Amino acid sequence: MKILVPVKRVIDYNIKVRVKADNTGVDLANVKMAMNPFDEIAIEEALRLKEADVASEVVAISCGVTACQETLRTAMALGADRGILVETDVELQPLAVAKLLKAIALNESPQLIILGKQAIDDDANQTGQMLAALMGWPQATFASKVVVDVAAGSVTVTREVDGGSETLALTLPAIVTTDLRLNEPRYATLPNIMKAKKKPLDVIKPEALGVDVTPRLTTLKVTDPAPRSAGVKVANVAELIHKLKNEAKVIA
Amino acid sequence: MSILVIAEHDNLTLKVATRNAIAAAAKINITLATEIHVLVAGVACGDAAQQAAAVAGVAKVIVADAAHYGDQTAENLAALIVAQAGGHTHILAAATSNGKNTLPRVAALLDVAQISDIIAVLDADTFVRPIYAGNALATVKSADPVKVITVRTTGFDAVEASGGHAVIENIQASTDLGQAKLVNRELTKSARPELAAAKIIVSGGRGMGSGENYHTVLEPLADKLGAAMGASRAAVDAGFVSNDYQVGQTGKIVAPQLYIAIGISGAIQHLAGMKDSKVIVAINKDPDAPIFQVADYGLVADLFQAVPELVAAL
Ligand SMILES: Cc1cc2nc3c(=O)[nH]c(=O)nc-3n(C[C@H](O)[C@H](O)[C@H](O)COP(=O)(O)OP(=O)(O)OC[C@H]3O[C@@H](n4cnc5c(N)ncnc54)[C@H](O)[C@@H]3O)c2cc1C
Ligand SMILES: Cc1cc2nc3c(=O)[nH]c(=O)nc-3n(C[C@H](O)[C@H](O)[C@H](O)COP(=O)(O)OP(=O)(O)OC[C@H]3O[C@@H](n4cnc5c(N)ncnc54)[C@H](O)[C@@H]3O)c2cc1C
């Protein structure tokens, strides 16, 4: 069974972004980029399935600018067998990414596609669900546990939901999106980083896949959120209670 | 043409989040002046449908009652919503785990974009949504014929639960796709208010040290204040509490009247989930903890001393 893992190149999660002065977006010049943390979890899960002999091949895919090759090399250093870059400078929105991934899935015939539940830049939380819809496959989003039964042609997934958790049984092929507690991703070792440089990485263009990636949403402007006015330090519990009662009036 | 809101419910009760989504629909409707319809899909969901019909501003409640909607699985729900999509300019749901699970699927089937987590409506095509963990706000305009939108509940005050007299229309269920089956559901039972709708939240982080401390130290405070309880990711990852307590960019987004962060450092991912609270209190022994930059009232203290003192003094 083959597993596809789409991996997105995003701003490093430790960095607090700054909105550009002309309000056209956020400033990404010279900012550290990394693999979306949820996608590291997706790669890890796929690798564990391979190490357990459930999966035979793990293919990482990224859609975006040339520099996404670095993200794919990271995925391969972690253990993915090969990489595919769908290269474009066009702003990609989730529906376009889902259509590109569908075109690749139709060529690759995976049984499972594991995505992150959300990318930490655009926070859309859409791509996996959209891909599932386009493929006509079942989906289990926000996964905290994944058990594949190849013989039965099913995958059982525990999901983190608002009130607690739930477990779904899906027929394969299927889509899974990862939540934070699915696993703890490994680190790439230096020898594996070197080996990853020799692993195959295909580069294709959206046109070659016959996909129109024109954005559907126009970003009119990007602004700073309203700042919070600076607060005060209180000296002790008594002062805190006094302020909450008499100044903020949030407790009786 | 009308606006369709997907109800969030458990067959018996309509969740408040639905009324937040209806509030967003009402904002969109200011320029459209059309009707707001609510879709209730479930099994034996008559009670939830009745409650939806009573919500202020709702003109029609569409009910699809069938066994295969009982568990709210995305595949069947999305197929039903798409079958109902004709005649609607907008399809909205609250950005709950159900809404986030289902609406992107609906959008893809309709070949339109989905707009996630809107916090403001500028006109019928233009919306504001947070990006980068709320550190930037994007104003986006959609050119799609149908706008499929999830609504951040903290962005819109819920409309009144009563005052409406909607007609109820029963519709045919779509066929069961049979692709996904619920095996088990473990919902946290609690007498406390729901995190997403609470007026006061007491939230604990890694500083609590253990699950036992979390409960013995924080519960008395939450009891005194009638508060819901939340946690940072670190506290959830360490197993102090279950995942549904997590507040943050990738957990729940909350905006209570009062948020008390105890033993939480204030990472950007945590702030993303609570920085729109009306009043923020932080209790942390590290005077340089970033949480103090957003706190209205900061108390530099050992929580194991300060919290019991607070409980005693309230
Ligand atoms: C140069 C450039 C400029 C952009 N400017 C803007 C802008 O101004 N405004 C705007 O709204 N958007 C912009 N985008 C697009 C935006 O950054 C997101 O890529 C897009 O909206 C998808 O949303 P998401 O990543 O939040 O999706 P989600 O649905 O949150 O992503 C979930 C998962 O889908 C997979 N995935 C998503 N994207 C990719 C990908 N590209 N490759 C591989 N896997 C992927 C990953 O597994 C990820 O974890 C731009 C993109 C580029 C390349
Ligand atoms: C992709 C991604 C998504 C994430 N999503 C979320 C999210 O949704 N929500 C979230 O919360 N985090 C999220 N995080 C994690 C986030 O980056 C932080 O790691 C996390 O919020 C830290 O939790 P904490 O503040 O409890 O722990 P710490 O940062 O370890 O802080 C503990 C604090 O407790 C204080 N303390 C310790 N002992 C005492 C004492 N006795 N008395 C008083 N104070 C004490 C310390 O001074 C310290 O400030 C995410 C991270 C990533 C990478």
Q: Residue A234 in 3-state DSSP?
A: strand
User: Cβ separation of A123 and B313 shorter than 8 Å?
Assistant: no
Q: A209 in a domain, yes or no?
A: yes
Q: Report which residue type is found at A194.
A: M
* HEC sequence for chain B: CEEEEECCECCCCECHHHHHHHHHHHHHHHHHCCEEEEEEEECCCHHHHHHHHHCCCCCEEEEEECHHHCCCCHHHHHHHHHHCCCCEEEEEEECCHHHHHHHHHHHHHHCCCEEEEECEEEECCEEEEEECCCCEEEEEEECCCCEEEEECHHHCCCCCCCCCCCEEEECCCCCCCCCEEEEEEEECCCCCCCHHHCCEEEEECHHHCCHHHHHHHHHHHHHHHCCEEEECHHHHHCCCCCHHHEECCCCECCCCCEEEEECCCCCHHHHHHHCCCCEEEEEECCCCCHHHHCCCEEEECCHHHHHHHHHHHC
CATH number of the structural domain spanning residue A119: 3.40.50.620
Which CATH code, of 3.20.20.140, 3.40.50.620, 3.40.50.12780, 3.40.50.300, is assigned to B2-170?
Answer: 3.40.50.620
Indicate the pLDDT class of residue A229, thresholds 50, 70 and 90.
Answer: confident
Q: A252 in a domain, yes or no?
A: no
What mean pLDDT, rounded, does chain A reach? Answer: 96
| Alpha-carbon separation of residue A82 from A78, A133, A179, A211 (angstroms) | 11, 26, 24, 22
Mutate to test the pocket of ligand 1, among A70, A93, A223 (most ligand atoms within 8 A of CB): A93
Q: A41 in a domain, yes or no?
A: yes
The rounded distance, in Å, linking the Cα atoms of B225 and B243 is 23
Among B72, B109, B131, pick the best mutation site for testing chain A contact (most A Cβ within 10 A): B131
Number of domains in chain A: 1
Q: Which atom of ligand 2 is nearest to the CA of B235?
A: 26
CB burial readout B222-245, b (16+ within 10 A) else e: bebbebbbbbbbbbbebebbbbbb
User: Cβ separation of B187 and A243 shorter than 8 Å?
Assistant: no
Q: Which of the pair, A232 or B133, is modelled with greater confidence?
A: A232
User: Are B2-170 and B195-313 the same fold in CATH?
Assistant: yes
Cα Rg of chain A (Å, integer): 21
- Is residue A159 scored above 90 in pLDDT? yes
DSSP bridge partners of A6: A61
CB pairs under 8 A between A and B: 251
| CB of B180 closer than 8 Å to CB of B74 | yes
Contacts of B102 in chain A (CB under 8 A): 129
| CA angle (B135 as vertex; B134, B140 as ends), nearest 5 | 70
CA-based torsion, B301, B302, B307, B310: positive or negative: negative
Residues in chain A: 252
Among A10, A123, A170, A218, pick the best mutation site for testing chain B contact (most B Cβ within 10 A): A123
Mutate to test the pocket of ligand 2, among A180, A182, A184, A240 (most ligand atoms within 8 A of CB): A180
The rounded distance, in Å, linking the Cα atoms of B255 and B274 is 6
Indicate the pLDDT class of residue A237, thresholds 50, 70 and 90.
Answer: very high
Closest-lying ligand to the alpha carbon of A128?
Answer: 1
Q: A251 in a domain, yes or no?
A: no
- Going by CA atoms, what residue is nearest to atom 13 of ligand 1? A91
Q: A95 in a domain, yes or no?
A: yes
Q: Please tell me if the CB atom of residue A25 comes closer than 6 angstroms to any atom of ligand 1.
A: yes
ipTM, 2 dp: 0.92
**What residues make up the domain containing A137?**
2-246
Structure tokens belonging to residue A57: 């091949």
CB neighbours of residue A137 within 10 Å:
21
Q: Which atom of ligand 1 is nearest to the CA of A120?
A: 26
| Alpha-carbon separation of residue B205 from A87, A162, B218, B232, B301 (angstroms) | 41, 19, 11, 5, 15
Task: Tell me the fold of B195-313.
Answer: Rossmann fold (3.40.50)
User: Cβ separation of A163 and B257 shorter than 8 Å?
Assistant: no
Average the pLDDT over A170-197 and give the result: 97
For residue B304, give the nearest of B275, B284, B281 by alpha carbon.
Answer: B284
Separation of CA B121 from chain center: 17
Residue A79, min C-alpha distance to chain B (Å): 25
Among B16, B77, B101, B311, pick the best mutation site for testing chain A contact (most A Cβ within 10 A): B101
**Per-residue model confidence (pLDDT) at position A228:** 85
Contacts of B301 in chain A (CB under 8 A): 236-237
Please tell me what DSSP assigns to residue A235: S
Nearest by CB to residue A237, choosing from B105, B107, B313, is B313
User: Cβ separation of B180 and A139 shorter than 8 Å?
Assistant: yes
Indicate the pLDDT class of residue A133, thresholds 50, 70 and 90.
Answer: very high
Average the pLDDT over A116-145 and give the result: 95
Structure tokens belonging to residue A169: 């049984």
- Give the chain B residue whose CA is nearest to the CA of A92: B113
Contacts of B177 in chain A (CB under 8 A): 138
| Residue ranges covered by each domain of chain B | 2-170, 195-313
| Alpha-carbon separation of residue A110 from A92, A176, B36, B145, B195 (angstroms) | 23, 13, 42, 33, 39
**Residues sharing a CB contact under 8 Å with residue B145, sequence separation 6 or more, in sequence order:** B89, B112
Pairing status of strand A164-171 against strand B180-187: antiparallel
Q: Report which residue type is found at B136.
A: A
Residue A121, min C-alpha distance to chain B (Å): 5
For residue A1, give the nearest of A152, A159, A126 by alpha carbon.
Answer: A152
**pLDDT values of chain B reduced to their tens digit, one per residue, 314 residues:** 999 999 999 999 999 999 999 999 999 999 899 999 999 999 999 999 999 999 999 999 999 999 999 999 999 999 999 999 999 999 999 999 999 999 999 999 999 999 999 999 999 999 999 999 889 999 999 999 999 999 999 999 999 999 999 999 999 999 999 999 999 999 988 889 989 889 999 999 999 999 999 999 999 999 999 999 999 999 999 999 999 999 999 999 999 999 999 999 999 999 999 999 999 999 999 999 999 999 999 999 999 999 999 999 99
Q: How many CA atoms lie within 13 A of B107 on its CB side?
A: 37
User: Cβ separation of A222 and B306 shorter than 8 Å?
Assistant: no
| CB of B241 closer than 8 Å to CB of B263 | no
Separation of CA B229 from chain center: 15
What is the reported pTM?
0.90
Q: Please tell me if the CB atom of residue A94 comes closer than 6 angstroms to any atom of ligand 1.
A: yes
